[in-house]
Amino acid sequence: MCSSDRSGAGAVRGAGWRGARRARGAAGAPASRAGPRHPAPAVRNARRTGRDAGFVTAEAALVIPVLVAVVAALIWGLMAVCARIECVDAARAGARAAARSEPRAAVFRAAHGAAPRGARVALAREGDLVRVRVEADLPGVGRLTVRVGGEAVALAEETVGR
């Protein structure tokens, strides 16, 4: 009886373990719990977008005008730098012409030729030196109108041989 109980129990026990494992599935969870534990990603995202739907529009409405203003300021600053460089170049051209003892009209033509539109040119002689100053107003809105300028000094050529 003992030996038959043991063999019978072993046979039933082995079949029982295998049977239970098949019913539970590969993960080892009972058959009644099989299936996803979390809702599908589309369902989770659908709940979030319903709650956050207006924030993207509001953020874009605030950020886009700020970006446009920053880009406009950068372009205006670049224009100011370019006008300053043109003023310095025009002053150098005028100073070279004045240093060669060219007539006053030729000096102003040389300076105005390289200067920004509407620039003012001033010519002064200080001993052996010739000083040319070029100034221009950079267009802007309200107080953003800025005056840029450049100055160049050259030694007059007729004084070199003395």
Specify whether the CB–CB gap between 123 and 64 falls below 8 A.
no
Distance CA(69)–CA(42), nearest Å, equals 38
User: Which of 43, 23, 19, 44 has its CA nearest to residue 33?
Assistant: 23
Asked whether the predicted pLDDT for residue 33 surpasses 60, the reply is no
- 102 three-class SS: coil
Distance CA(3)–CA(110), nearest Å, equals 123
Asked whether the predicted pLDDT for residue 15 surpasses 90, the reply is no
Average pLDDT value for residue range 53-77? 88
Kindly report the average pLDDT of the chain as a whole number: 78
Specify whether the CB–CB gap between 110 and 116 falls below 8 A.
no
**pLDDT confidence of residue 31:** 54
Q: Quick count: other Cβ atoms within 10 Å of Cβ 80?
A: 15
Q: Give the residue with greater pLDDT, 137 vs 36.
A: 137
pTM beyond 0.75, yes or no = no
* DSSP for residue 32: G
Q: In the chain, where are the structural domains located?
A: 56-159
**pLDDT confidence of residue 3:** 47
Give residue-wise pLDDT tens across range 70-129. 999 899 899 999 999 999 999 999 999 999 999 999 999 999 999 999 999 999 999 899
